[in-house]
Every structure is written in structure tokens, then in C-alpha cells.
Amino acid sequence: MKKLSKLYVALVLMFLYVPIFVLIVFSFNESKSRSVFSGFTLEWYERLFHNDIIISSLINTIIIAILASIISTILGTLAAIGINSMKKVPKAVVMNITNMPVINPEIVTGVSMMLLFVFFAARMHVEFGFVTLLIAHITFDVPYVILNIMPKFKQMDPHLFEAAQDLGCSPFMAFRKVILPEIMPGIVSGFLMAFTYSLDDFVISYFTSGSTSQTLPITIYSMTRRKVSPEINALSTLIFLTVVIILIVKNIIETRAAKKNGAYKGA
Amino acid sequence: MKQLKALSAPYLVWMFVFILVPLLMVAYFAFTTDEGTLTMQYISDVGQYANIFVRSIWLALIATVICLVVAYPLAFILSRMDKHKQGTMLMIVMLPMWMNFLLRTYAWMTLLGNNGIINYLLGEIGLGPFKLINTSGAVVLGMVYNYLPFMILPLYSVIVKIDKSVIEAASDLGCNFWNTLLRVIVPLSVPGITSGITMVFVPAISTFIISRMLGGGSNLLIGDLIEMQFLGNAYNPHLGAAISLVLMVIILLIMTVMNQFSPDDQVLI
């Protein structure tokens, strides 16, 4: 039984990883062939670094992800605090609408925002590009921030805020000293989730970006539509490496933190 | 806490303008003509594409079932590993998800292509070449590959929380392994199964990238149909909005059915 389960895990992992490893191997292939490895080269990496479209869309993606995640974290944190103090019915209404971009298929969210922007573009001087892209990203990011923060209020004593004020805190101070530290883990995980969703999004960006402001996933998509170029393989390899490094670092930090906590508890 | 309510004002405005109004616009576009007169024309036009709807539902269903069948044993095995091993294994399973899904789908494009490595290797042993890419099988494969971790994660997180003493009790009372699995563990993991099904089925039924990259032109899905109405040659936002509306209704129905099986507030997103 034990051997059988090991074999099963190995098979699933093979299914998940073999395509990625084939991509990586062929990023070093001298010819453009997708099946025969004819010799080692770094040419595709060199071309990648000299490809202005890829570099500029990468920068664009990072700028949008940073801006969208910061703005949506602020907007979402304030919203979560406000929603938490609402009465039952308005709270349920707001949460249901907030859930919509999470539940709806991405294509429907993208198309609905495109319709709105087309409407605006016809009446005001709004063009598809950086601004529409940023608005769209904030819109699909905020719900994740709110959904990460809301559970933290459930764990918090609802009278803490009033108690702080009774003890002489101004509402702002009470917010900063009492509420904020309690919901901080939710804010951080909401921010990180928003950031990664923004970096990775293709479908909604595809419908809201226009032709002037492109993100990396959109550039990748147009590359896969044109003729085969091993530059995509090189790009995949670099992205895969970045992800692996980030996850390993994250894992090391977490184990260290866990050990530290354990040590304190032990003492 | 009353004065805190005001803090949500900026978001409420944002939510109204950028979530609610766009969705209402989809509904408005679906039921009106360019001149703004009410019509059922576009909704009834959706009927012409019934075959595409059936194909999308069918392929997404197959992919969801395959994901469930593959993911359940894996999630079960993972939940039985040593505690410290579980975290690492889970990370290894989820790692491919962090790569953009376009690149993951592209990987299969190069593998399945007519000059791809699979056909090359088969050719070496005297088989093929087979037509692998641009088939509905390739589309299902792409869905399974992209969304399998969405099934593994909720299943794992439910199975790992099942009380060990319940399982021990079952075997003390004479259940063998398979009986325990079927009568105790599977029923207790229903919330994970339902949320896994939703998390795979919803993106699978609405995708347009996987069908375009792996299905060629002959395997159009609902997503492709919508995309064509907005960004393609067939520009017709009214029809596109009508199709989107029907898609939303289908998904809402499926989620309602799924929620019937889940005990109250245990739905995981």
C-alpha cells in the first residue's frame, strides 16, 4: 500500500512537472525544434533581454501590480472596518456584491468592465490603457483584501474599540492601537494575494488594456499566437526560477519563525 | 462602532461604479438594441449556439471528474504523511500554479504539437504521428493540467481535519480500510469535494485560452464565443452580453446545487 501511494504521488508530480521541465530544457536548445535537442545555447536568453516589448510590459506589470495592491489594500481595509460595523442586512448586501468578482468567471468580469469603459470612452476623454487597466486590477483585488480581513474581526472582541475610547483614546488612536494590530495578519495576506493576482492576471487585463498599455501575460499571449520562438521558453524558465526562489525563501523564513516561537514557548 | 461605518464609503462608491454598474450594463446590453429599445432578440439568438454550450459543459464536466478522481487519492495520501513532510509536499504540488497559466498551456502546446516531443518519441519507436493537438482531448488535458491543484487543495484541507478518533472508531467497530474510506472519510470530505468541483468547473467552462491554444479552431467554447463578440471580428456586444448572462445563470445554478450538498457555512472559497 505504502509503495503504491508513493508511486501514485510520483506519477501525479510527473504529470505536473514534466511539461515545465521540457520547456526549460528547450530554452537552451540551439535550433527552434520542439522535439530534437541539437546543442546548448544561451542565445534565447540574450534575445529575451534585448526584447523591448517584453521588458517594457514586465515593468508595466510590476507598476500596475504594486499600485493596484497598495490602493486596494487601503480601500479594502477601510471597507472591511466599515462593513464590520454595519447592521446585518446592509452587511449581507455589501458582502454579496463584493463576492461577485470572486465567484463570476473572469471573462464576465472583464467583459462587464470593458462595457463600462467603452461607455465612458464615448462620453469623456477616457482611453483604454494604463488607467482602465489599473481600475480593473483594483476592482478585482479589493474583494480578496476584504475577504482576508473580515474573518479577523470574528476573532476580535467587539467591545475592544469602545473600551479603548472609554480609557481615553481618541477614535483614531483607538483604531491605530487596538483595531489595526488585531487585523494586521489579514491585511498582509490580503495585500500579498492582491499583488500576486495582479501580476498573474490575463483575462481581465485582456479586455481592459487596449493597445497602448500591455502587461506581461498579454505580451506572452500575443507571442504564443505568432510563430514559435524559444524566447518564451527562456522567459518561462526565468519565471519558474523566480517562483522557486521566492517559495524557498518564504519557507525558510516561516520555519525560522516557527522555531523561534517554539523556543519561546519552551522557555 | 457607529462612526466606523463611514470608513467604508470610498469602497461603497467604488463597488457601485465598478462592480454593480458594469454587471447591470451586461444585463442592459443583453436586452436592448443599439437604439436602446427593449428586445429579446439577443437572448433568443443564444439558442443558435446551443451546441457550443453543450460542448463547453461537457468538456468542463469531464475535466472536473478527472480532476476529482486524480486529486482525491493524492489529497488522501498527502493527509496521511508525516506532519513536516505535508507542508513541503503541498508546496511542491502547488508550485506549478505560480507560473502563469498561459505558459503552462504553452508547455502542452509544444508537447502535443505535430512536431512536438511526444510525436517525436512515438515516431522513434515506430508509432504515429498522431493528431494530438487541436482535439477536444487536448482541451480537456489542458483544463485538467491547469486546474488540478484547485481540486487538490480544498480536498486536502478537509481530509486533513477529519478527526483521527472517528477513523479509529470505525476500524474498532469492524470496518476495513475500504469501508472506512467509503463510509466515513468520503462523506466527511463532502465540503471539500463540492468546493473543489466549483473551483475547477467555473474556470473550465468559461475558459477561452485553453480551447484556443490546444483546441485549434474546431473546439470553440463559450469563452471563445464571448471573446469574439467583444474583441474579435464578430463584434456584437449585445450578443456577447446575452451569452455572458446565460453563462452566469448556468454557473449560479450549478453553485446553488453544489451548496445543497454542503453543510451550511462550511463552504470554502
Kindly tell me if the per-residue pLDDT of B216 is higher than 80.
yes
Tally the domains of chain A. Answer: 1
Chain A residue with minimum CA distance to B87: A251
Q: Is residue A260 part of a domain?
A: no
- With CB atoms and an 8 Å threshold, state whether A161 touches B70: no
Kindly tell me if the per-residue pLDDT of A195 is higher than 90.
yes
Average pLDDT over residues B263-269: 48
Kindly tell me if the per-residue pLDDT of A267 is higher than 70.
no
Q: Which of A32-46, A135-149, A188-202 has the lowest mean pLDDT?
A: A32-46
Rounded Cα–Cα distance for residues A42 and A27 (Å): 8
Kindly tell me if the per-residue pLDDT of A152 is higher than 50.
yes
* A208 compared with A33, residue with greater pLDDT: A208
Cell of A141: 483585488
Q: Looking at the complex, does the CB of residue A62 fall below 8 Å from at least one CB of chain B?
A: no
Residue B36 CB burial class (10 angstroms; 0-12, 13-18, ≥19)? exposed
Chain A 94-133, residues with CB within 8 Å of chain B CB atoms: 94, 97-98, 100-109, 111-116, 118-119
Confidence band, pLDDT 50/70/90 cuts, at residue B249? very high
Output the pTM of the full model. Answer: 0.91
Chain B residue with minimum CA distance to A230: B110
Q: Which of A84-93, A158-167, A253-262, B115-124 has the lowest mean pLDDT?
A: A253-262
Rounded Cα–Cα distance for residues B119 and A237 (Å): 23
Query: Residue B38, SS3?
Result: strand
Average pLDDT over residues A145-163: 88
- With CB atoms and an 8 Å threshold, state whether B8 touches A236: no
Rounded Cα–Cα distance for residues B196 and B66 (Å): 12
- With CB atoms and an 8 Å threshold, state whether B91 touches A135: no
- With CB atoms and an 8 Å threshold, state whether A34 touches B117: yes
Average pLDDT over residues B95-117: 90
Q: Is residue A1 part of a domain?
A: no
CATH of the structural domain B40-99+134-266, one choice from 3.20.20.100, 1.20.120.550, 1.10.1740.10, 1.10.3720.10:
1.10.3720.10
The per-residue pLDDT for B267 is 44
Average pLDDT over residues A41-55: 91
Q: Is residue A46 part of a domain?
A: no
The per-residue pLDDT for A252 is 87
Chosen from B26, B108, B132, B153 to mutate, greatest number of chain A CBs within 10 A: B26
The per-residue pLDDT for B88 is 87
Q: What is the CATH number of the domain that holds A126?
A: 1.10.3720.10
| A198 contacts in chain B (CB < 8 Å) | none
The per-residue pLDDT for A221 is 92
Q: Which of A35, A81, A171 sits opposite B120 (nearest CB)?
A: A35
Average pLDDT over chain A reads 90
Average pLDDT over chain B reads 90
Residue A100's domain comprises: 52-228
Kindly tell me if the per-residue pLDDT of A67 is higher than 50.
yes
Tell me if A243 sits within 8 A of B99, measured CB to CB: yes
Q: Is residue A95 part of a domain?
A: yes
Min Cα distance B220 → chain A (Å) is 15
The per-residue pLDDT for B203 is 94
Average pLDDT over residues A65-75: 97
The per-residue pLDDT for B263 is 61
Confidence band, pLDDT 50/70/90 cuts, at residue B269? very low
The model's pLDDT over B147-171, given as tens digits with 9 standing for 90+, comes to: 999 999 999 999 999 988 888 888 8
Q: Looking at the complex, does the CB of residue A230 fall below 8 Å from at least one CB of chain B?
A: no
Kindly tell me if the per-residue pLDDT of B83 is higher than 90.
no
Kindly tell me if the per-residue pLDDT of A266 is higher than 70.
no
- With CB atoms and an 8 Å threshold, state whether A82 touches B8: yes
Q: Looking at the complex, does the CB of residue A67 fall below 8 Å from at least one CB of chain B?
A: no
Q: Is residue A24 part of a domain?
A: no
Q: Which of A83, A108, A221 sits opposite B247 (nearest CB)?
A: A108
Average pLDDT over residues B221-230: 94
Kindly tell me if the per-residue pLDDT of A228 is higher than 70.
no
Confidence band, pLDDT 50/70/90 cuts, at residue B69? very high
Q: Which of B10, B92, B227 sits opposite A78 (nearest CB)?
A: B10
Q: Looking at the complex, does the CB of residue A248 fall below 8 Å from at least one CB of chain B?
A: no
- With CB atoms and an 8 Å threshold, state whether B99 touches A20: yes
Kindly tell me if the per-residue pLDDT of A28 is higher than 80.
yes
Kindly tell me if the per-residue pLDDT of B268 is higher than 50.
no
Q: Looking at the complex, does the CB of residue A252 fall below 8 Å from at least one CB of chain B?
A: no
Residue among A169, A267, A19, A78 at smallest CA distance from B96: A19
Chain A 141-200, residues with CB within 8 Å of chain B CB atoms: 142, 146-147, 158, 161-162, 171, 175, 196, 200
Average pLDDT over residues A130-140: 95
Kindly tell me if the per-residue pLDDT of A77 is higher than 60.
yes
Min Cα distance A267 → chain B (Å) is 23
| A232 contacts in chain B (CB < 8 Å) | 103, 106
Rounded Cα–Cα distance for residues A70 and A66 (Å): 6
Kindly tell me if the per-residue pLDDT of A182 is higher than 70.
yes
Measure Cα distances from A200 to A64, A128, A138, B15, B113 in Å.
Answer: 11, 20, 14, 22, 26
The per-residue pLDDT for B264 is 53
